[in-house]
Amino acid sequence: MRRSTTKKLAIMMLAFYIVSLLSPFVGIAVANTDYQAPGYQAPEQYKAPEKYQAPEQYKAPEKYQAPEQYKEPEQYNEPESNNPQGSDPSTQQPGSGENNNSGPGLYNSLKYVVNDVILGQVKLIDSASALFENPTNSNINSFARNNIGYNYFGNILRGGLGLAVPSDSGWKTALDTWSGVDTTMGVISTVKDARIFQQAQRLEAAGDVRALAQMADNVPKPMTGLGKFAAWAGVAIGTGEGIYHTYKAFTAETGQERTDAVFGALGGYGGALMAGATLVAAACPPLAIGMAVAGGVMWAASTIYANREQIGRGLKWTGDKISQGAKAVGNGVKSAGKKLGNGLKKVGGWFSK
C-alpha cells in the first residue's frame, strides 16, 4: 500500500514539474496580448504621370521690403505635463502608487518569474520533502489541493493577471485584495507559530517535561535549507525594493513623486520584515511577532495607497447608490441614508486626492 501511494505521489510530482516549466511562458504571453500584426494591403494600380508641362515664364519679385522692427518673444512657458503625477511610466514599480498603463514592464515581469515561479517551486519542493516522510492518501490529496493548486498555481494565475490588467483598474484592486487576504493569513500563521515556540520555551525553562511532551506535535518543525533560502530571498527582494524607493524619495522633483516613493519603500520593507519573521520565530518569538505585524501593516498601507483612486471611485459610487435609494423611503431612513451616502462620498474624495 505504501509503495503504490509513493508511486502515485511520484507521478503527480512529475506531471506538476512539466506543467510548471510551461506556465511562465503562458503567463507572459497572456500579459502581452495587445499586439496585432498589421494587415498587408496591396498597392493600388500604377498610374503613369500626366504629360510634362513647362513652368510659366519667370517673374522677378517685387521691390524688396525690409521687415518690421524686431520684437523680442514673450517669456517661454513650459507646457503642462500629460502625466499629472510627474512620473515616468517606464520607471514605475509595484506598490509605489503610480499609474502605469503602458504594459507590464521588464521589472514586473522579472519579479513575477522570480517570486511566483522560481521561489514558488522552491517552497513547493520544500513542502513535498516533508510529504515523503508520511505519504498517505489524505496527505497527498491535501498537498495537491493546497500546495500545488492554490499556493503555487494560484499565485502564478494572480501574478500573470496582475501583469495583464491596467494598474489603475478595479481588476487590479481585486487582485491586490486577494493578495491581501493571503498576506493576512501568512501573518496570522507566523504569529501563531511564534507563540507556540514561546510557550515551548517557557515550559522547557520551567522543566515541565510532561506538558512539553503533550504539545510536541503542535510545535512547528525546524526550517529546512530550502525554506531558509526562500525566506532569505524574500528578505533580499523586499529590501532591494525599499532601498530603490528610498533613493527615489530623496531624488524626487515633485511632492507627488516623493509621496509615491515613500509608500513604495513601505511596501518593500514590509515584505522584507514579514519574510524575516519566519527566520527568527524559533530563536526569538516576540521579535518575530513584532516583525510580522509591523511588516503586514506597512505592506497594507502601501497597497491601499497604490489603489487609492479605485477605492475612492468605489466609495463614491456606493455613496451615490445609497443616496439614491434613500429618496425612495421614509423621511427618517431617508435622512440617515443621505448622511451615510454623503459620508462615503466624502471619504471617497479623500482617497481620490
Q: Which three cell numbers stand for residue 120?
A: 514558488
DSSP state of 89: G
Q: What is the rounded CA–CA span in Å between residue 245 and residue 95? A: 10
For the four alpha carbons of 248, 254, 260 and 265, in that order, the dihedral sign comes to positive
DSSP state of 17: H
**Kind and range of the H or E element at 47?**
none
**pTM for this structure?**
0.64
Q: What is the rounded CA–CA span in Å between residue 282 and residue 68? A: 86
Q: Which amino acid is at 90?
A: S
Q: What is the rounded CA–CA span in Å between residue 249 and residue 255? A: 9
One pLDDT digit (tens) per residue for the chain, 353 residues: 556 666 666 666 666 666 666 665 555 554 554 545 455 565 566 566 666 666 666 566 666 565 666 566 565 555 544 444 444 433 344 443 344 444 457 777 888 888 888 888 888 888 888 777 777 766 788 888 888 888 888 889 998 898 888 888 889 899 999 999 999 999 999 999 999 999 999 988 888 888 888 888 888 888 889 899 999 999 999 999 999 999 999 999 999 999 999 999 999 999 999 999 999 999 999 999 999 999 999 999 999 999 988 888 888 878 777 877 766 665 555 565 556 656 655 655 555 55
Q: What is the rounded CA–CA span in Å between residue 273 and residue 270? A: 5
100, 167 in Cβ contact below 8 A?
Answer: yes
Tally the C-alpha atoms within 13 A of residue 99's C-alpha that lie toward its C-beta: 16
Q: Tell which residue, 177, 25, 36, has the closest CA to residue 109.
A: 25
296, 306 in Cβ contact below 8 A?
Answer: no
Strand, coil or helix: what is 245? helix
Q: What is the rounded CA–CA span in Å between residue 100 and residue 89? A: 6
